[in-house]
Amino acid sequence: MAKRDLAAELLRELGQDRTQYHSGEELSVRLGVSRTAVWKAACRLREQGYAIESVTRLGYRLTALPDGMTKELLEQYLPQGRGETVICYEETDSTNTRGMQLALEGAPTGTVVLADRQTHGNGRLGRSFASPAGQGVYLSYLLRPDFDPAALSLLTSCAGLAVCQVLEQHGLAPAIKWPNDIILDRRKVCGILTSDAESGTINGAVIGIGVNVTQQPQDFPEELRDKAISVREAGAAVPRAAIAAGIITRLDDLFLRQHILSQPAENLIGELTRRSCTIGRRVEVISPTGQYEALAVAIAPDAGLIVELPDGSRRTVSSGEVSVRGLLGYT
Ligand code: BTN
C-alpha cells in the first residue's frame, strides 16, 4: 500500500479555499488524524516553501505557493480532480518518450507527463532541447486513439494557440513563427514537438511543449542568447506550475470540450493567422526537397504554410522549417 502523504492531503484541503482560515480541529477530523499531526504536516509544507499562516482560534490559511513542478503544486492551479491523470517527474529523459510509452500501454487521452528536468529533451529535426531544472515547463499531452497522421500539424498548431492564450492571460503578446515556435520580443520562448505513437492497434499522438520560464539571458548557452527568451525576461513573473496548469486547461478545452479537430478549421486558422509573425514576411523555406526564398501569404486549412514564389506561383509547405527575416538571427 502506498505510504500516506499527509502534507499533500493538507495542502489539498487548504488549497480548496485560500481566502479562509481552516480550523485545526476541522482539519484533524477531515483528515482523520490528531491536531499535532496536522501541525507537523503544516511544518513540512512550510519547509517545502508554502507560506501557511496559523492563527490561534482561527486555524491555518495557505497564503503563498513556492515555484516548483510537483503534482501537489500543480493541483493548486488545476480544476479539482484533473491532477489524477498528470504524472510529474523530478527528472526524466524526455516527457515525449514517457508519453509515447504511456500511449502504448493504453493511458487515456488527456494524460499529461511533466518533468522539472529532462536529461534528453528532444527538439524538432533531431535537435536537442535544453531542459534545466527549475527553469522551464516540459510537458507532454497525450491524445488517443486513432489519429489521422495528417492531423498532426493541426495538433501542433492547437498547442501553439494554447500556449499563446496562456501567455496572453499574463499580459504578454506572443506570436507564432510557423509551424510551431512561440516568439516573444523576436526571440523563441517555446518550442513544440508532436509525435505519433503507433504499435499494432494502438495509435496516439504526444504533443510535447517546452517553455522557457525563469531563465536570465546568461542562463542560455551563448549561441542562443540573441535567439531565446524566457517568460520572466519578457516581463511576467509567473510560477511554472501556473503556466503548466494553464496550458493543460487550454488543451483540455480545445480537445476534450470544443473537439476542435472535428470542427471546421476556419476558426482555428483565423486564431493562428491573427498571431502569426510569419504571414506577410519574406521567408526562406527549408524543405526536404531543397531551400528557396518566398513570401509567406496564408495558413492553409490543414495548418500548412501557403507561400508565393518569385514567379507568382503558390504552394503549400507542410513540413520542414522556415526562417523569417528579422527573427531568431535570420537577417
Ligand atoms: C523545438 O523547438 O524544436 C521543439 C522543442 C520541444 C521540447 C519539448 S519539452 C517537452 C517535450 N519533451 C521533449 O523531449 N520535447 C518536448
76-135 confidence digits (pLDDT tens): 999 999 999 999 999 999 999 999 999 888 899 999 999 999 999 999 888 899 999 999
22: left (phi over 0), alpha (psi -120 to 50) or beta: beta
CA–CA separation, 237 vs 163, rounded Å?
16
Give the CA count within 13 Å in the CB-facing half-sphere of 243: 32
Q: Which residues pair with 202 in a beta bridge?
A: 199
Amino acid letter for position 183: I
- 280 C-beta neighbours (distance < 10 Å), count: 11
Pocket test for ligand 1, best of 96, 163, 181, 247 (most atoms within 8 A of CB): 96
CA neighbor of 278 nearest in space, from 176, 174, 168, 155: 176
Amino acid letter for position 9: E
Ligand 1 centre distance from Cα of residue 207 (Å):
9
Please tell me if the CB atom of residue 136 comes closer than 6 angstroms to any atom of ligand 1.
no
CA–CA separation, 202 vs 217, rounded Å?
42
Ligand 1 centre distance from Cα of residue 264 (Å):
28
Q: What is the pLDDT of residue 189?
A: 97
| Residue 23 CA: distances (Å) to CA of 49, 56, 58, 259 | 21, 9, 6, 43
On the question of pLDDT at 295 being above 60, the answer is: yes
pLDDT band at 298 (very low <50, low <70, confident <90, very high): very high
pLDDT per residue over 234-276, tens digit each?
999 999 999 999 999 999 999 888 887 777 678 889 999 999 9
Ligand 1 centre distance from Cα of residue 156 (Å):
12
- Among the residue ranges 11-15, 131-135, 286-290, 324-328, the one predicted with the least confidence is 324-328
Q: What is the 3-state secondary structure (H, E, C) of 217-285?
A: HHHCCHHHCCCECCCCCCCCCCCHHHHHHHHHHHHHHHHHHCCHHHCCCHHHHHHHHHCECCCCCEEEE
Which atom of ligand 1 is closest in space to residue 118's alpha carbon?
Answer: 14
Ligand 1 centre distance from Cα of residue 191 (Å):
6
CB 251 within 8 A of CB 207: yes
Backbone phi and psi for residue 192, each to the nearest 5 degrees, phi listed first: -130, 135
Please tell me if the CB atom of residue 141 comes closer than 6 angstroms to any atom of ligand 1.
no
Please tell me if the CB atom of residue 140 comes closer than 6 angstroms to any atom of ligand 1.
yes
CA–CA separation, 264 vs 262, rounded Å?
7
